[in-house]
Amino acid sequence: MTHMPHMPQALDAPLAIRGFVAADTDAVIALWQHAFPEYREPGKPHRDPRLSIANKLATQPDLFFVATRDATIVGTVMAGYDGHRGWLYSLAVDPAARRLGIGTRLVAHAEAALVARGCPKVNLQVMPDKPDVMRFYDALGYRADPVVSLGKRLEAKQPEPVAES
């Protein structure tokens, strides 16, 4: 699969959503580095896209989806389910393909996969400086929960990053 950031896709080409495969790695990384600027920051090793892919392939790889149009990756989403709550991560759509319903379809696809596993609720986190992302999720029915998100970085052994193709 290829990915050419900022290249308009044929708007009439059908959109397909399928599971990630290793051959998608470079295209997904290119998309993520454009969609998530923090993935380009070498001072944030926990934001290494190759490591993120390796971690997902080690845990519920069947919940890692890509959207394609004309064999070009135009979007991604990852989901996870721990038996209690589901999570959505790394929803990204190529800027040239935004506002065409691709993100909405990716979220619906991931939600359906979680429902099929018996997941009763899905959570996600949005950086506070992204009001456009907040509006997107609000339009899909997501609301802020009355909770405080806490986190702690662990120095756990991580899978080896996916090799360059």
CATH number at residue 58: 3.40.630.30
State the CB neighbour count (10 A cutoff) for residue 34.
Answer: 16
Asked whether residue 9 is domain-assigned, the answer is no
How does pLDDT run along the chain (165 residues), one tens digit per residue?
444 444 444 556 799 999 999 999 999 999 999 998 888 877 766 678 998 999 999 999 999 999 999 999 999 999 999 999 999 999 999 999 999 999 999 999 999 999 999 999 999 999 888 899 999 999 999 998 888 888 887 776 656 666 665
Torsion angle, alpha carbons of 151, 89, 29, 63, to 10 = 120
Predicted pLDDT of residue 31: 96
Asked whether residue 50 is domain-assigned, the answer is yes
Asked whether residue 110 is domain-assigned, the answer is yes
Quote the pTM value: 0.83
Tell me which amino acid residue 132 is.
Answer: D
Predicted pLDDT of residue 129: 86
How many domains does the chain fold into? 1
Contact 104, 145 (CB under 8 A): no
Asked whether residue 160 is domain-assigned, the answer is no
Using CA atoms, how far apart are residues 29 and 54, in angstroms rounded to an integer?
12
Domain coverage including residue 112: 15-139
Asked whether residue 165 is domain-assigned, the answer is no
